[in-house]
Amino acid sequence: MKKEFKMVAGWVMSVLGIQNFAKDNDGKLFLTAEQEQTLKEKYGEKFVEGFKADLSKMEVDGEQVNLTLSAEERLELDASRKEVGTLKAQIEEMKKAEADFKATIAKLEKQPAGQQGQQVTVSELEKKAIAAGVDLSLKHNRFLVDYLQGKVSAAYSGDSTIDTQELKKEFGKYVASNRLEILKGLFGQTESTQYMSTIITDKTEVRANQASVVGTVLQQFVPKWTPSGAAKFTPLTIRNFKCKINVPIIPSDIMEDILGYMYDEQASQLQPMPVVRYILFQLIFPKLDEEREQALALGRFKELEPDEHGNYTASKPTETMDGYLTQLIDLYAERETEGSKGSSLRWLQVGQQIDPAQKNVRTIIDAAVKEVADKYPLYAKKAMKVHIDPVLADAYRREYLEEYKWLKNQDGTHKNDIDFSNFEFAEMEGMRGTGCFFITPKENFKHLMSHNPQNVTLRFQEVDYEVKIFGEWWEGTGFWMGEAIFAYISPAAATKYAKPAADGDNAGGEGDGI
C-alpha cells in the first residue's frame, strides 16, 4: 500500500470515527452509504468517488487490511489535522486575491495609457509569483522579480534592499503556511535515522519493559495455567534531549547568494523563492542535518554552566545529546564487569584492530558475521543491517574486488551485502573514521521524537539590520535491549571516544574527532 493512500485512509477513518473499513463477500473494502454521505458533505462527491476506487483495490486476505499508521505517519497526520483549517482559509484567501488581481489586470490592460502614466502590464513571472503567495509589495521580493526579468530598476542597494520588518512579516506568514514542511526540515530523516525505529514521546527518558519482549509461546498442554517464561533481556535507558538552533542572519549579506542560487537553479524558468525559504532550506537545514548526524552518532551530552556573569557559551553540536556509538563505547568499557549492562551485549572480534591499510577489513567483518551465525542461530537468518563506518565499507568492497577481479562493476553498483548471510551494509556518515560497526534489528535501534509537533517552535526576532532565528525541539537515540546488539568497537575508537574520567573535557582520549 502506498504511503500516500495510507495517510488519506487514516485521515478518513479519523473523520468517520472508525478503526477500519467494512469488507464485502469478495474481500474488498468499501464505504457504507452513511459513510459516503458524511464524506460527500465534507469533501465533495469527486473526492468520495476517487477514494472509493482506490479503497476497492486494496487486497484483503482473511483479516482486514491493516491501516494502522506508524509513529512518523501519526506525527504527520496530527500536524496536518491541526493546520488544515488554517490552510483552507489561506487557500480561499489566495484564490480570492488571485481572482481580484486577474480582474484588475484584465481591466487595466484594456485601458490606454493617460498623459500622467503608461499602460500597466504584468508579466507571466509576476503572475506566477503572486499566485504562489509571494508578496510583491515587499522590497526584497520586488527586487528579485525585477532582477529575473532583467529590468533596469533591479538595482541592488545593500541594506535598503531588505527591510527586517518586512522580512519578519514574510517569516510569520511563511511559517504559518508551511509548518509541516518546516517541521520535517528541522528534524527530518537523516542518513542514520532511516535505519532506526521511532518512539514518539514527551518523556525525558524511556526504556524497554516486559510488554516489549515476548518470551516462549508454544508449550505442552496441561490442565493448569502455566504462563511462558519471558526471554532474558537487559533494558537500556534512552535519554531525550532538548535541542535548539540560534542562528543570526544579516539579510543584506545574502542577497548575492540568493541571486547566485537562482541563477544556478535556473529559477527564472520557475518563480522567485521567498527569502525566508532560502534562509531556512538552503542556509540552516542542510547544516543542521549534517550536525544532527554527527551528534546522533558521536554526541556526548555536556551540562553547560554559566560564567560568573550568568552568561552561557554555545555548546558544540556533539554536546547536545548522547550518540548511539558513544553509548556503545561506554558499554564496551564495562563489558567485563559481571552483571553490568555492558556485559549483556554481544561483542565481536574483541581486541582485533581493524585497519584498511593492513587489508584486514574483510577478514574481520566476515569473521564477525560468522560469529553471530554460529553463536546466536536465532539471528543467523534474520535480515539485518551492519551499521558501519563508511571508510570500512569502502575498504571491504575494494578487498573483495581485488580478490574477485572478474566481478568488478559488472552491474555498475557497489557490493553492500555480505556473502553467506542476510546482512548488508548501512553506511553511517556520523561514524566515519571510527573504525567501528554494529549489527542490530531496526526495532532495537531507536530514535526519540516529540509527541506533540506543536511543541516544536520556530521564532524570528529582528535587531537593526540583523535577524535572529530560534528553534527548539526534543530528540534522542539509543537501543532497546542489550542482548540484540552485536558490536565491534576498535581499540583505537574505545580509547579516542572514551567517557571522561571526571567532569572535565567533554571529549575522551584525543578529542571528539569531529
pLDDT digits (tens, 9 = 90+) for 310-364: 888 888 999 999 999 999 999 999 999 988 999 999 999 998 999 999 999 999 9
Whether the per-residue pLDDT at 470 is higher than 80: the answer is yes
In angstroms, the Cα distances linking 177 to 4, 98, 181 are 21, 17, 9
Name the burial class of residue 258, with classes exposed (0-12), middle (13-18) and buried (19+) by CB atoms within 10 angstroms of its CB. buried
What gap in Å lies between CA 257 and CA 157, rounded to an integer? 15
Whether the per-residue pLDDT at 151 is higher than 90: the answer is no
User: What is the tens place of the pLDDT at every residue in 115-149?
Assistant: 555 544 667 777 777 776 677 777 777 777 777 77
Three-class SS state of 23: strand
User: What is the tens place of the pLDDT at every residue in 406-433?
Assistant: 765 555 456 788 888 889 999 999 999 9
Name the burial class of residue 437, with classes exposed (0-12), middle (13-18) and buried (19+) by CB atoms within 10 angstroms of its CB. buried
Using 50, 70 and 90 to split pLDDT, how confident is the model at 24?
confident
Please answer whether residues 134 and 262 qualify as being in contact, where contact means their C-beta atoms are separated by less than 8 angstroms.
Answer: no
Write down the pLDDT at residue 84.
58
Grid cell 544579516 is found at 250
Write down the pLDDT at residue 497.
95
Written as one string, the DSSP assignment of 86-124 is HHHHHHHHHHHHHHHHHHHHHHHHTSPP-TTS------H
Average pLDDT, the chain: 77
Q: How is residue 41 written as a grid cell? A: 458533505
Instruction: Mark residue 433 as left, alpha or beta (left: phi above 0; alpha: psi -120 to 50; beta: remaining).
Output: left
Write down the pLDDT at residue 280.
84
pTM of this structure: 0.68
Grid cell 564487569 is found at 337
Q: Which pairing describes strands 205-206 and 238-239: parallel, antiparallel, or unpaired? A: antiparallel
Whether the per-residue pLDDT at 185 is higher than 90: the answer is no
In angstroms, the Cα distances linking 189 to 249, 316, 429 are 25, 21, 13
User: What is the tens place of the pLDDT at every residue in 69-116?
Assistant: 555 556 565 655 555 566 566 666 666 766 766 676 666 666 665 555
Please answer whether residues 61 and 27 qualify as being in contact, where contact means their C-beta atoms are separated by less than 8 angstroms.
Answer: yes
Q: How is residue 259 written as a grid cell? A: 541571486
Query: Which among 258, 250, 249 is positioned nearest to 143, based on CA atoms?
Result: 258
Q: How is residue 343 written as a grid cell? A: 556485559
For residues 157-177, average pLDDT: 70
Residues 6+ apart with CB under 8 A from 472: 242, 243, 244, 456, 457
